[in-house]
Amino acid sequence: ATAAGPERLGPWCSPTGSPAPLSCETGCGEGSWILVCRLLVPTQVSLLSMEEDIDTRKINNSFLRDHSYATEADIISTVEFNHTGELLATGDKGGRVVIFQREQESKNQIHRRGEYNVYSTFQSHEPEFDYLKSLEIEEKINKIRWLPQQNAAYFLLSTNDKTVKLWKVSERDKRPEGYNLKDEEGRLRDPATITTLRVPVLRPMDLMVEATPRRVFANAHTYHINSISVNSDYETYMSADDLRINLWNFEITNQSFNIVDIKPANMEELTEVITAAEFHPHHCNTFVYSSSKGTIRLCDMRASALCDRHTKFFEEPEDPSNRSFFSEIISSISDVKFSHSGRYIMTRDYLTVKVWDLNMENRPIETYQVHDYLRSKLCSLYENDCIFDKFECVWNGSDSVIMTGSYNNFFRMFDRNTKRDVTLEASRENSKPRAILKPRKVCVGGKRRKDEISVDSLDFSKKILHTAWHPSENIIAVAATNNLYIFQDKVN
Amino acid sequence: MFTRGLKRKCVGHEEDMEGALAGLKTVSSYSLQRQSLLDMSLVKLQLCHMLVEPNLCRSVLIANTVRQIQEEMTQDGTWRSVTPQEAGRAPLDRLVSTEILCRSAWEQEGARPAPGLGDGHVQGPVSDLCPVTSAQAPRHPQSGIWELDGPREDRGGFHKSLDQIFETLETKNPGCMEELFSDVDSPYYDLDTVLTGMVGGARPGPCEGLEGLAPATPGPSSSCKSDLGELDHVVEILVET
């Protein structure tokens, strides 16, 4: 399905070779990864291909903005597969949401399976101005979360710093024809000319994808929203900002319940903020939230209305030999994710990814070094603010592999079973379509081998903060600035 | 990276002094770098893109770092008053390599100044630790062997904003701060609001300092420079109000 208009420019990869059987069980060690497609931001795609007749109700022209800010606004700020993996949504700094749909499998085009094409584009949030504080509210989309599909339409939540919106994305491929009171162009007919009555019939039309805002959940957050999470009851969801977490019912927009509040009475005493939060995948009463001090709290909503007192508290004791002025900053957790099984949580701090067992609070069961070579560079990274970058982390469908991003457009995968890991790069120069991605290596000192890159040559402006993993297959989406890379596993 | 402004000695002389003074040199390096980190942190807290609300997480983490440094310096006995001239020029002159700070604590065992020793041997007399309101004569921070050379150029924006901040703070009594913020609702953005003079007003750029702040009653004499108490207050304000 495509947005109305001529056949849009497809992704630029030309498939070669035999199709790769996809298996969820393949870890990052046994398989290799190939680039499926690199998707450009819609401004570029639409300018190239959508010249004809476009229904402007569907495509908000405001995203075709002046090119002087086009680059900044196109930076992808969130990526998320839906529950079947058929759809992939991205949000960007300009407040747009772009949804890609997986290419349908067909007998004569089996090699195109795994590619994603633009399905729908809409402007989710606009920049706002808070007149009381004289501050602009950014339109950047911080998070997108899909609701499980319950009918033909798709629903997703998207949020900026202050407002959460529920969007409905639906297809229309039929339209009614044969009205009595209106003619085919929609003009009213003169009643005197109507001599017979007829029943309007539905006739096929070109497929149209519409996105409509169904709910707007506003004015509930004083601070910046960093997370949203849909509950497993599919009736409620939570939104978390720096100091508070609110619980919403999808049907009610003028009220939310505050379930966590860590704001001190005296702001002078503020030393810790909430950095991420998520509901348990199966237990609708349980959620976790992480903090800037490297702690995770698990809360049970049955215990009390205000979950300020946690049920479980996860913290790893500090290694005194590694203590420095930057210890706290690098321990700040930038992302927390439950495993699909609900047994584990994964956290990302500046240098590591950790896996925790819900039954053990005093330390993680696994720790993976993402880019430990940066440990001696923390001062420079503090100076240029990179130390505050918030990397996300994701599980694969079977919870056997975890993935997170790094600098220089590198991203890392860790196989929890084999304990093998791999570093790959999402870059235009190095990726020919369908070619196998070459593992990368950072040289930490001494003699640099060919193909290795030294720490000092890393480009810290090229950071992979957002990645997503297909829920059941080995297909991953990696956002690098304004490019979205789709890779799939190719099992030899 | 470390050598900007550092006076170099001729090779022979250095070799003679090496053994005896190597320890002190590292002490000084650590202190310099720690001071540099402190200055950098204060600058970070003050310079924000004020059209959009600053990132609270980042501000809290930086403020915690400042607090840690302050605590350590207080324990070491090296916490000194900062004069506006120093404050203004310090961040850029003293942004030496802070690579030493990245080393783990055990490596620094020998490098850190022992409590009570202060910088007396290296950097001139240690100033009073008690908050005092009387004037403190500005001290050249780097007297002694390890003089920092190099031109003190005009640094434009940085210089001005830190200067103005300390200048304005020094004319106020601590009590005035509360009055200043008493009618501002949201404490969250006061952190940056205060320091860039945004209270109740439109938003000038970050370097316009504190013209917007209502002047308090004239306090102690103009020779009263920011002292320990005032600097404490800056740190408090940074996470308040």
In sequence order, what are the beta bridge partners of A365?
A: none
Domains, chain A, with CATH or none: 33-47+70-76+133-142+216-489 (2.130.10.10)
How does A437-462 read in b/e, with b if 16+ C-beta sit within 10 Å?
beebebbeeeeeeeeebebeebeeeb
Smallest CA–CA separation between B24 and chain A, in Å? 21
φ/ψ (deg, to 5) at A341: -75, -20
> Is the confidence at residue B204, as pLDDT, over 50?
no
Predicted pLDDT of residue A337: 98
How confident is the prediction for chain A on average, in pLDDT?
A: 85
Interface of B with A in 147-166 (CB under 8 A): none
Of chain B, the percentage scoring pLDDT greater than 70 comes to 19
For A185, the token pair is 């162009």
CB-based contact, B187 to chain A, within 8 Å: yes
**CA angle at residue A151 from A147 to A155, to 5 degrees?**
30
**CB-CB: which of B102, B190, B236 is closest to A378?**
B102
CB-based contact, A321 to chain B, within 8 Å: yes
Predicted pLDDT of residue B230: 58
The answer to whether the CB atoms of A379 and B99 lie below 8 A apart is yes
**Residues of A with Cβ-Cβ distance to B203 under 8 angstroms:** 134
pLDDT digits (tens, 9 = 90+) for A288-297: 999 999 999 9
Cis peptide leading into residue B241 (ω within 30°): yes
CB-based contact, A373 to chain B, within 8 Å: no
Interface of B with A in 75-134 (CB under 8 A): 95, 97-99, 101-106
Question: Which of A233-237, A454-458, B227-231 reaches the highest mean pLDDT?
Answer: A233-237
Give the Cβ contact number of residue A346 at 10 Å: 23
How confident is the prediction for chain B on average, in pLDDT?
A: 52
Substitution target in B48, B60, B112, B235 with the highest count of A β-carbons within 10 Å is B60
> Is the confidence at residue B155, as pLDDT, over 50?
no
Cβ pair B200, B233 in contact under 8 A: no
**CB-CB: which of B58, B60, B105 is closest to A270?**
B60
For A181, the token pair is 């009171």
Residue at A226: amino acid letter = N
User: How far is residue B99's CA from residue A375's CA, in Å, rounded to a whole number?
Assistant: 10
For residue B190, give the chain A residue with the closest CA: A267
For B102, the token pair is 């990245």
Predicted pLDDT of residue A431: 65
- pLDDT band at residue B102 using 50, 70 and 90 as cut-offs: low
Residue in the structure block whose two tokens are 């079973």:
A417
- pLDDT band at residue A151 using 50, 70 and 90 as cut-offs: very high
Predicted pLDDT of residue A73: 83
Residue at A281: amino acid letter = P
**CB-CB: which of B56, B63, B104 is closest to A224?**
B56
Which has the higher per-residue pLDDT, B134 or A311?
A311
The answer to whether the CB atoms of B99 and A376 lie below 8 A apart is yes
**CB-CB: which of B57, B103, B188 is closest to A267?**
B188
For residue B56, give the chain A residue with the closest CA: A242
Query: What value does the mean pLDDT take over residues B217-237?
Result: 50
For A369, the token pair is 């070094």
Smallest CA–CA separation between A289 and chain B, in Å? 14
- pLDDT band at residue B228 using 50, 70 and 90 as cut-offs: low
Eight-class DSSP state of A320:
G
Asked which of A312-326, A341-355, B13-27 is least confident by mean pLDDT, the reply is B13-27
**CB-CB: which of B58, B65, B240 is closest to A267?**
B240
Residue at A161: amino acid letter = D
Cβ pair A67, A52 in contact under 8 A: no
**CB-CB: which of B56, B105, B202 is closest to A273?**
B56
- How far, rounded to the nearest angstrom, does the alpha carbon of residue A122 sit from its chain's CA centroid? 16
Query: What value does the mean pLDDT take over residues A359-385?
Result: 96
Complete edge-to-edge strand list for the sheet that includes strand A296-300: A274-279, A286-291, A296-300, A312-314
Cβ pair A209, A119 in contact under 8 A: yes
**CB-CB: which of B61, B98, B102 is closest to A375?**
B102
> Is the confidence at residue A168, as pLDDT, over 50?
yes
Asked which of A378-392, A442-456, B107-121 is least confident by mean pLDDT, the reply is B107-121
For residue B60, give the chain A residue with the closest CA: A271
The answer to whether the CB atoms of A326 and B98 lie below 8 A apart is no
ipTM confidence score? 0.84
Predicted pLDDT of residue B147: 27
In sequence order, what are the beta bridge partners of A177?
A: A201
Asked which of A3-17, A369-383, B20-34 is least confident by mean pLDDT, the reply is A3-17
pTM of the full structure: 0.70
> Is the confidence at residue A120, as pLDDT, over 80?
yes
Predicted pLDDT of residue B168: 40
Cβ pair A141, A116 in contact under 8 A: no
Cβ pair A334, A349 in contact under 8 A: yes
Which has the higher per-residue pLDDT, B21 or A300?
A300
For residue B1, give the chain A residue with the closest CA: A380
Residue in the structure block whose two tokens are 């990302």:
A348
The answer to whether the CB atoms of A328 and B65 lie below 8 A apart is yes
> Is the confidence at residue B117, as pLDDT, over 60?
no
φ/ψ (deg, to 5) at A110: -65, -25
Which has the higher per-residue pLDDT, A123 or A129?
A123
Cα–Cα distance list, B192 to A259, B38, B43, B51, B207 (Å): 28, 17, 11, 11, 12
Four-CA torsion B19, B20, B23, B29, nearest 10 degrees: -90
**CB-CB: which of B57, B58, B188 is closest to A222?**
B188
- pLDDT band at residue A6 using 50, 70 and 90 as cut-offs: very low
> Is the confidence at residue B196, as pLDDT, over 60?
no
pLDDT digits (tens, 9 = 90+) for A439-461: 999 998 777 788 899 999 999 99
> Is the confidence at residue A201, as pLDDT, over 60?
yes
Cα–Cα distance list, A188 to A192, A197, A200 (Å): 12, 15, 15
Query: What value does the mean pLDDT take over residues B158-163?
Result: 38
Asked which of A75-79, A163-167, B34-38, B109-113 is least confident by mean pLDDT, the reply is B109-113
CB-based contact, B178 to chain A, within 8 Å: no
CB pairs under 8 A between A and B: 106
> Is the confidence at residue A22, as pLDDT, over 70?
no
For A340, the token pair is 């699909």
- DSSP strand E in B123-181: where? none
> Is the confidence at residue A334, as pLDDT, over 70?
yes
CB-based contact, A335 to chain B, within 8 Å: no
**Residues of A with Cβ-Cβ distance to B37 under 8 angstroms:** 325, 379, 382
Which has the higher per-residue pLDDT, A222 or A55?
A222
Predicted pLDDT of residue B53: 76
The answer to whether the CB atoms of A135 and B40 lie below 8 A apart is no
> What's the helix, strand, coil split of chain B in %, to 5?
50, 0, 50
- pLDDT band at residue B70 using 50, 70 and 90 as cut-offs: very high
Asked which of A6-10, A179-183, A484-488, B85-89 is least confident by mean pLDDT, the reply is A6-10
The answer to whether the CB atoms of B105 and A222 lie below 8 A apart is no
The answer to whether the CB atoms of A267 and B187 lie below 8 A apart is yes
CB-based contact, A223 to chain B, within 8 Å: yes
